A and B are shown apart, each in its own frame.
Chain A
């Protein structure tokens, strides 16, 4: 027998032990034949799983290319795309068979987002620094970056080629976004600075909000997106071929107010895809988990790994995709609460009595509705700002209904 009892956990997790625990386990295995037999069987199971996976995916670099191609075929070169195409049927089959490979595909997608983020954050400064080193080395008379780069005929030609192909420089795309975002900032005085406008990538512009900052973006189709703090969204660059109705939410939380159209509006995250026609909803995401809450309209949510199992949400419902699982069944939630970080209240065909209750909770003040008005419904998209004083907001609301506001003891009352 072993000199000291060994926890079954130690055997189970033999592959993540601290050195001292490893030594203890080795000593116990040397003394106890039964323990050694159980250990060997467990390791054999693990080795068999590994052998199966190695046989299923003999070329892990090709597997990476396959996963990237599933995310965005434009990431592959022609040669890579051909290799993936030749292996795709086999890889589709093994990914279907092994849940761990499906998860590995998702991890590659998340890696891609992380790489994008690192590139967006660091590349411009890093290459500018390299160009500056050129300047200092080649033109001690304090020349400029552009002078140095254009001194190389090959570079000059390449830059000209890119321009003629319609690939606008980041500067142009960035400037356009600055203008748009500046306009939004002027509307919302409480939004200060700290918006990072990032660079173009494969036809996308990336927009990132800093801590404590929310931002409203208007898309080319008239839809709007409000970003919560610490959120990163990729939208089609204005001159790209991509549709404005396809966006990627990398991280954070966003509220989408989608203009109705026959073309679906798609929000893609690492684990999930949300498809809508015209609606208001929030999406909160990490690499592993996406939560969608619907305020109005209808949306369809699918796992990107198991797209066959869609969930359709009704207003006031939420669902989430965790890892590679199918979306959870819709559950009723306080949708206003889910959007409580957003700038506006969103009501659509909402009875005044229900809206009053929401507003009452937000402002912590009693708001009563005359019974002749209680069943009246109204839609408020974008007009009722949470930061407004309660009197102003109620005044707007009442006017839209041909009613008025009375101050009563402890609160307010909407009357005809």
Chain B
């Protein structure tokens, strides 16, 4: 046997052949990428059902976009970005699925009607400003679609600590927003708002 070839030459070679219409090379290229993508997604996504979809969708993305890869030596960065795009699509899909579980009575999660129907209006900004940066960071990550375990991993803490922050944010906002709701219903007059908020702080 000859000395083993550098992978950086091998992968570029498959790209060039695939771009030149060699369907066998294209198939082998995708097959060679599959275990790499799987290895990556196992580390970063974790759930088997998700991983299979992520791998397949990334391979489709590579397959369809291969013609746009001008420098065959950049396959790695190309495949990486395809994988990351799929991860983002997964995150986005997670919260849609999550919210639909409780949706029979509510409009869509991001609909403007949601705030109107709950009588929140502009007070929401004020309520959110009551949260610590850390709590906002966690809720914002969650609303981007990350799991609590992934948030903990990103922030260098534990899942329990992350959930504790969410519970505290919920408690704080529940009290605040209840006051706002009562105000809007006319039970508390606006001049008393400051006192009401102070009492909750």
A residues with CB within 8 A of B: 8-9, 11-16, 22, 25-26, 29, 36-51, 53-54, 60-61, 63-65, 68, 75, 77, 80, 98-104, 106-108, 110-112, 114-115, 117-119, 121-124, 126-131, 133-134, 137, 144-147, 149, 152, 154-155, 158-159, 162, 167, 169-171, 199-201, 271, 286-289, 322-324
Per a CB cutoff under 8 Å, which of A9, A100, A152, A322 touches B156?
A322
Complex CA distance for A144 and B124, rounded to whole angstroms: 67
Instruction: Tell me whether A38 and B83 are in contact (CB under 8 A).
Output: no
Interface residue SS majority, chain B: helix
Complex CA distance for A359 and B141, rounded to whole angstroms: 48
Nearest CB of A to B14, in Å: 6
B residues with CB within 8 A of A: 1-14, 16-17, 20, 22, 24-25, 28-29, 31-33, 35-37, 39-40, 43-44, 70-74, 76-77, 80-81, 83-85, 87-89, 91-92, 95, 98-99, 101-102, 105-106, 109-112, 114-115, 117-118, 120, 124, 127-128, 133-134, 136-144, 146-148, 150-151, 153-157, 163, 166-167, 169-171, 173-174, 177-178, 181
For the complex of A and B, list the 9 residue pairs with the smallest distance between their C-beta atoms, beginning with the closest: A100-B140, A288-B156, A12-B170, A99-B137, A170-B6, A124-B7, A118-B40, A118-B39, A289-B156
24 A-B residue pairings within 8 Å (CB atoms): A40-B117, A41-B118, A41-B177, A41-B181, A47-B115, A48-B115, A53-B140, A54-B110, A102-B137, A106-B154, A107-B154, A114-B43, A118-B39, A118-B43, A119-B76, A126-B32, A126-B36, A128-B5, A130-B28, A152-B13, A152-B22, A170-B8, A201-B76, A289-B156
Per a CB cutoff under 8 Å, which of A12, A40, A127, A289 touches B14?
A127
Instruction: Tell me whether A103 and B155 are in contact (CB under 8 A).
Output: yes
Q: Which residues of A contact B6 (CB under 8 A)?
A: 124, 169-171, 199
Complex CA distance for A38 and B101, rounded to whole angstroms: 17
Q: Which residues of A contact B92 (CB under 8 A)?
A: 60
11 extra interface residue pairs, beta carbon distance < 8 Å, beyond A60-B88, A100-B141, A169-B8: A40-B106, A40-B118, A41-B181, A77-B71, A99-B137, A100-B138, A119-B80, A155-B12, A169-B9, A199-B7, A323-B156
